Each structure stands twice: as structure tokens, then as C-alpha cells.
A and B are shown apart, each in its own frame.
Chain A
Amino acid sequence: DTGVSQDPRHKITKRGQNVTFRCDPISEHNRLYWYRQTLGQGPEFLTYFQNEAQLEKSRLLSDRFSAERPKGSFSTLEIQRTEQGDSAMYLCASSLHGVVGTEAFFGQGTRLTVV
């Protein structure tokens, strides 16, 4: 297992288009997180899954955003009707919940540019 994988690494889209990102977590990890990061800021929490259940969504996650994790494996994050303000790095992370001292492993992110 080579870690958390995200696809694509870069995405340029026109305003109003829909985009979908994919995250493949470390295989035995039951937790999967999505974050958004803009220039000069730390990652901001968007949502997380415990297995296939989406347990929390940030207020940052507007109705245009939807995330899924079918079968508790990979996850997708879709943004509908993209806006320029959606331009950011979208990070996925996974962890093994329930283990003291466990760490979250992050992917390299998907950089979205909305033009």
C-alpha cells in the first residue's frame, strides 16, 4: 500500500461546471476525511466518514458539495456548479479510528482552479 491516493492531481474547470475528485485511502483505514486548503491557510475540515457512513459535515460544505464513500472504501467529492471561490487544494486523509495515538495520513491533494 503506497498511502492515500488522490485523483486527479490538478483540475481546471470553467465556472458552472461540475467536478468530481476521487480519494483512495489506506486499505485498512476506517476513517476518511476531506479538507480544503487555500493559499496561506491551514486545511479546513469539510467532512468525514466512518466506513461508509458520513458522520459530520462542516458548514463550509454547501449544498453544491456532496461526498460519498460507497462500501467504505474509496470516496468521491463532487462540486456542482463550480464558482471561482471553490478554487483550492482539496485534501483527503485516512486514519484507523479507535487506536490511541493513531495518525491521519494525507494524500497529495487535488488542486482545483475555476476559471
Chain B
Amino acid sequence: QSVLTQPPSVSGTPGQRVTISCSGSASNIGSNVVNWYHQLPGTAPKLLMNKDDQRPSGVPDRFFGSRSGTSASLVINGLQSEDEADYYCAAWDDNLNGLVFGAGTKLTVL
């Protein structure tokens, strides 16, 4: 069971907005930044959002990240078919003294 809780799946139609939540605790999200990764089928994960809300170069501005208290969110505006992937949140956990990943959320574009 993952330390960070994500919905197993979300879906939307092209053009819609979807939100993926990531819930943790004081020792991880409550104390440290959250990074988001996405993973297309059969490929390695890739950094999507870092330090809560910073988009790496090349990530469209349709993607927004935020963190508040012990939760974080990833918002995707103007959903596109190529956004269909698995999305993972991650953060350092001070109690475990290690990195923790969420269980992942599968985004389906209908």
C-alpha cells in the first residue's frame, strides 16, 4: 500500500479539465515538495511537474501543480488524447527517510 494516496483512475473528454489528487501526511507532503511524473505505456517515467508547481522545459502550460497542507494536485486543462498515461506523485518522507511514490492514476481520454 502506497504512502501517498491517488485515485486509481480519472477520465475526461478532449478539451475538458481533469484533476489528479495526491494525499499524504505531515512527514511527506506536509513537509516537502511534490513532484509529478507521467508514464506512457511501455516507457520509463518522465518528470512532469517539479517543486509543486514548476513545469520543466517542454511541458505545456495546460498542466498545473499545487500543494496545500498534506495534499497536492495536478490539473490538466484542455485535455488531449496524448495526455492518456499513468501519473505518479512523489515526495520525500522525513519519517521513512526515503522517497515515496503514489500508487499512480491512470488517465483515460474518452
Q: Do A and B come from one complex?
A: no
Residues of A within 8 A of B (CB): none
The chain B residues found within 8 Å of chain A, CB to CB, are: none
